Amino acid sequence: MVYRIHFTVQDLGRTRVACEAMPLHELELAARALQSRSLPIQLGAWRHRARTRLSVQARMALRLMPAVGSSPGFLSPARAGTIGELLEHVRNTPREHIKRDLLQIASPSLPEWSGRLVDDASLFAELCTGLLHLHSYLLAPYWDQFTQLLTADRNLRMQQLITGGFEELLEQANPQWMRWKPPVLEIQMMSDVDRDLYLEGQGLVLVPSMFSTRPVVTQGRHPAVSYPVFQDQRTSLGPVVSESTDDKTDYECVSPLLGRTRALVLITIAEHEDCTTKELAARAGIAPASASEHATVLRGAGLVRSLRHGNCVLHGLTPLGLALLNNSERG
């Protein structure tokens, strides 16, 4: 089915890409990914590790964030801030808002106890504790890597906006599931009901997500659409959601890759973040084909991430690539 988001001229002027990561919004998407079977290679180890650590309260929070379907809006506000600030915002949710959000879902999949959240303060406190636990299991260990990749994606979207305007930005955010048919953004959803959202001057926030495999629409005061951070299907989450905690092991694995030219390519990317392959070749003094080949090897080792922008590919360092260079400098 189709979710149609209707824009006015004002809405286009107020549409933007999120400036910062949104922890609770991303947490809902991570909770959905935990319970789904998508991206088994990239997320399999992460799922296994998280499932063995879930507390009773965390499992309680998961019941309200299913793999498919709607979640109460008060659980995952599309706003930036620290996890502490956002959880305090959830704790202070007015009772009428809790009741409204639960009634909007009215799904048989909701647990029986969800109806008591409106009046049972201790039960609601347990739910908030569950959100904190979920964040510590699913997101906290990887948050620095996530924010760096989200920044890279935002840089890509800004280039799309500059070169092609809002049309290119909306068309390229998630072309597999989203279609821009002015003045309507059509989103293919896993639902049996068509829906319409009229922005009425509020604009739309585009939120790059590490865990979203399909767009997720969030209504409310600040309407938002989440989309997968990477559109190049060759890119894996594996180097980001890493189960390794031994930095020396990472260095030993990648060090044989770094001959003189490849090291030069890595340093050039570090000094010129989000350079194109053509720019990389010119600055490193090598042929474009050679620059592309070295960048591909470095990307496969988890040192470099690459994002496609039209006919160009933009290259930047991953946290592992930066750590490797920093370690070399200390040596």
Task: Indicate if the pLDDT at residue 209 is higher than 70.
Answer: yes
Q: How high is the mean pLDDT of the chain?
A: 82
Per-residue pLDDT band for 231 (boundaries 50, 70, 90) equals very low
Task: Indicate if the pLDDT at residue 238 is higher than 60.
Answer: no
Contact predicate 239/230, CB 8 Å: no
H-run or E-run covering 276: strand 275-276
Which residue bears the tokens 């990477």? 230
Predicted structure pTM score: 0.66
d(CA 173, CA 268): 28
| pLDDT tens digits, one per residue of 63-94 | 999 887 778 889 988 788 999 999 999 999 99
Q: Which pLDDT score is estimated for 228?
A: 83
Higher pLDDT, 194 or 255: 194
Closest CA to 62 of 54, 92, 25: 54
Find the range with the poorest average confidence among 97-111, 227-241, 264-278.
Answer: 227-241
Q: List the strands of the sheet with 2-6, edge to edge.
A: 178-181, 184-188, 2-6, 195-198
Task: Indicate if the pLDDT at residue 39 is higher than 80.
Answer: no
Higher pLDDT, 88 or 330: 88
Per-residue pLDDT band for 328 (boundaries 50, 70, 90) equals low
| pLDDT tens digits, one per residue of 92-127 | 999 999 999 888 876 777 898 998 999 999 999 999
Task: Indicate if the pLDDT at residue 25 is higher than 80.
Answer: yes
H-run or E-run covering 261: helix 260-271
Contact predicate 327/303, CB 8 Å: no
Find the range with the poorest average confidence among 151-160, 211-220, 240-249, 306-315.
Answer: 240-249
CA atoms within 13 A on the CB side of 118: 11
What is the number of other CB atoms lying within 10 angstroms of the CB of residue 131?
A: 27
